[in-house]
C-alpha cells in the first residue's frame, strides 16, 4: 500500500534536491581545498609558470570589470616585491573573446603571468563568488586564503600579510 | 474517488515544487564571470545625458515628481 506520504516524498525529494543545487556542477573552492589543476583547464596566453612547490597567487579577472583593472598595478608591485622570495602570480582572464583579453593585456602590460580561460573551465571549477577574486595557494597546492573583490590598500595589506605568512612556512619534505 | 483526489493533490504538489525549483535562483543566476554583457555601456540607461534629461522632464511633467532614480547605470556586480 503506497501512502500519500510516500508518493509525496518520491515527488518532492528530487525537486528539493534540484532546487538546492548550485548554478554549476562544482562546489566553490574555499580555503583548505586543493586548487584545481591548471593543466587540464586548456588555458591560453602566456606559458604557465612553474607552480610546483611554490606559493602562488591566482587572480581571476575580466576586462569589463573595473576593480580588476585597479588591481593590476597592485599585483605588479607585489610581484616585484616578492619575486625573489619565490611567489608566483598567475592572473586568469575570463573574457569571452581573445581580442578583449589581448587588448587588456596590451594596455596593462602586467609583469606577472596572465592566461586566458576562454572556455571558463577553470573559473567554473573554482566557482569564484565575485569578480575579481584571488586565491593564495601554499606550496602543497592547497588554498589557504581567498580574497573576494578588490579594495585598494586594504586588499594589498591583507594579501601581503598572508603571503608573508605562507612564505615563512617551511617547504614540505620531498 | 478519495484516492484519485489524493493522487491529484500529490501531482499538483510535485508540479508546484518542480516549477518552483526551475524558477529558483540556483537555476536562473548569472554567474560572476558571465556578466560582461551587463557591464557593457549599452546596458546603461543613462548613457545619453540628453535622453536622460528628457525622460526626467517627461516624468516630472506627468507625475509632478522627480528624482527617485536611486539605481543608475549598468554593471557587472563586481566587488
Check CB contact under 8 Å for B21 and A19: yes
A contact set with B (CB within 8 A): 4, 7-8, 11-12, 15-16, 18-24, 60, 62, 64-68, 94-96, 100, 120, 123-124, 127-133, 149-151
**pLDDT more than 90, % of chain A:** 71
Q: Considering CB atoms only, which of B24, B26, B36 is closest to A62?
A: B36
Per-residue pLDDT band for A22 (boundaries 50, 70, 90) equals very low
- Closest C-alpha to A74, from A163, A153, A158, A161: A153
ipTM of this complex: 0.78
- For the segment B32-49, what is each residue's pLDDT rounded down to a tens digit? 999 999 888 888 877 888
Q: A86 to chain B, minimum CA–CA distance in Å?
A: 28
Whole-model pTM?
Answer: 0.76
Task: Using an 8 Å CB-CB cutoff, list chain A residues near B17.
Answer: 11-12, 15-16, 19
Helix (H, G, I), strand (E, B) or coil at A16: helix
Helix (H, G, I), strand (E, B) or coil at A58: strand
Q: Tell me the average pLDDT across A43-67.
A: 89
A27-168 belongs to CATH 3.40.640.10: no
In the numeric block, the cell 583579453 is attached to A101
Check CB contact under 8 Å for B13 and A12: yes
Q: Considering CB atoms only, which of A11, A94, A123 is closest to B17?
A: A11
Residue from A131, A134, A147, A152 to probe the interface with B (highest B Cβ count within 10 Å):
A131
Per-residue pLDDT band for B66 (boundaries 50, 70, 90) equals confident
Amino acid at each position: 500500500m503506497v501512502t500519500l506520504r510516500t508518493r509525496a516524498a518520491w515527488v518532492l525529494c528530487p525537486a528539493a534536491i534540484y532546487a538546492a543545487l548550485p548554478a554549476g556542477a562544482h562546489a566553490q573552492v574555499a580555503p583548505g581545498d586543493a586548487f584545481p589543476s591548471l593543466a587540464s583547464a586548456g588555458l591560453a596566453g602566456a606559458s604557465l609558470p612553474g607552480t610546483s612547490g611554490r606559493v602562488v597567487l591566482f587572480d581571476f579577472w575580466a576586462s569589463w570589470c573595473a576593480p580588476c583593472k585597479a588591481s593590476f598595478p597592485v599585483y605588479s608591485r607585489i610581484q616585484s616585491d616578492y619575486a625573489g622570495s619565490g611567489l608566483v602570480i598567475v592572473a586568469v582572464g575570463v573574457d569571452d573573446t581573445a581580442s578583449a583579453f589581448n587588448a587588456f593585456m596590451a594596455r596593462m602590460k602586467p609583469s606577472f603571468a596572465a592566461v586566458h580561460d576562454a572556455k571558463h573551465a577553470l573559473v567554473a571549477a573554482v566557482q569564484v563568488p565575485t569578480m575579481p577574486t584571488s586565491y593564495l595557494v601554499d606550496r602543497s597546492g592547497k588554498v589557504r586564503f581567498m580574497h573576494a573583490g578588490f579594495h585598494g590598500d586594504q586588499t594589498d595589506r591583507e594579501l601581503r600579510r598572508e603571503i608573508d605568512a605562507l612564505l615563512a612556512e617551511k617547504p614540505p619534505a620531498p | 474517488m478519495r484516492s484519485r483526489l489524493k493522487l491529484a493533490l500529490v501531482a499538483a504538489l510535485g508540479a508546484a515544487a518542480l516549477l518552483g525549483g526551475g524558477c529558483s535562483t540556483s537555476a536562473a543566476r548569472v554567474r560572476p564571470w558571465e556578466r560582461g554583457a551587463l557591464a557593457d555601456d549599452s546596458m546603461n540607461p543613462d548613457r545619453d545625458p540628453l535622453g536622460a534629461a528628457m525622460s526626467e522632464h517627461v516624468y516630472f511633467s506627468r507625475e509632478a515628481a522627480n528624482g527617485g532614480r536611486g539605481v543608475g547605470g549598468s554593471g557587472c556586480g563586481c566587488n
